Amino acid sequence: MLALALVGLLAALPPGASQAAPQGIEQGRATGQTSSPEQQPTPGPPSTPGASAETEAPAPPVAAPRPPDRDPRANSLRRGELLTPEGITLDRADFAERAARADFILIGESHANRCDHLIQASLLAGLAHRGLRPVVGLEMIPVDQRAIVDLFIQGRIEPESLGEALAWPTLWGFDYELYEPVFQVARRFELPIAALNVPKNVARMVLDGKVKPDEVKPRWLLPRVIILSPPAQEPELRRVFDAHRSLGHGTRREESAPRALEEDFERFVLAQSLWDSKMALEAMDASEKHGGPVVILAGIGHVEHGWGIAHRLHVLSPGARLLTVLPWRGGEQPEAGAADLFFYCPETPDD
């Protein structure tokens, strides 16, 4: 989630950090996203190629959505079932059809939720079964770890050893075994992996005013252009920022200094803009390098409402076709406008 991803950066910022916008920042405007239906019952572990009839025949054409057999408001969905914002369940063939027409498929997660990662892995495996071989772009891995990622792609590092090779507890912080199913699927289907993010220490140096973006060496660690968050996102960013402050993160200012607090908030917005711009640019580069679509796995805050990575993709490539997918924890129905599709996973993080 955005709140968890940025807290380490905020805690490191000194009281007097400069608030001048780095060179290269530009304000983008979000455009509309393509919406898309797809869904199916709870997936099991991904099967090997050739073991399913799905791999022996092309996927059936997309059928018109039918009313759900189970009422999602009664929380009777099976884990991993896909549904539209209106609560209509969709099968995996529908999802694959929509994904095949997208350039970028953004699948959100709560970083500590085991179910989210299992469903991400299952969706990737389903796409590979149907002949779609996406690049897997990961928020969790910064671009300075590309050499290790390349060794994994070459088969020289096994999925169960990748966490150690990347020093995962320091690199990301959430348990590697939560993410291992995604790497197992990537290995099984020989899917390319793309590191997407800015290294945390580099982001801190820029945000605390120690260096300007143009002074960072090597320069490729930062995005070529930093696109600020859309105005519509500001209320949510302020909510998350205030939640951080209530926990003692992200500010060392006194409550009586409103301008100082506003400067802290501006740095908070810049932090997200730095990360989301880099992830969008790296995903575009990965698409050009490998061809075909890119599946981006990132925290919910980088996917919801098209504010994060999607906003930057639309600014950088107005014709890009996007499909956004978020976890849904149950309730009346998914939040309208938050994503094109949702997959059902319960709230319990380690369930």
Checking if the pLDDT of 19 tops 90, the result is no
Q: How many CB atoms lie within 10 A of CB 119?
A: 25
Q: In sequence order, what are the beta bridge partners of 82?
A: 90, 343
Query: Would you state the pLDDT for residue 318?
Result: 95
- Going by the DSSP 8-state scheme, the letter that residue 214 receives in this structure is G
Query: Would you state the pLDDT for residue 350?
Result: 55
Average pLDDT over residues 180-209: 89
Average pLDDT over residues 298-323: 97
- Highest-confidence segment of 255-259, 266-270, 298-302: 298-302
Q: Provide the 3-class DSSP secondary structure of residue 345.
A: coil
Checking if the pLDDT of 20 tops 70, the result is no
Q: Which of 115, 128, 137, 144 is nearest to 218 (CA)?
A: 144
- Highest-confidence segment of 26-30, 75-79, 222-226: 222-226
Top-confidence residue, 97 or 2: 97
* Alpha helix (H) residue ranges in the chain: 2-11, 92-100, 114-129, 146-153, 159-165, 168-171, 176-188, 200-207, 234-246, 258-290, 309-316
First to last CA, the chain: 18
In the chain, domain spans: 2-15+22-35+99-319
Q: Of the ranges 107-111, 178-182, 188-192, 244-248, which one carries the lowest mean pLDDT score?
A: 244-248
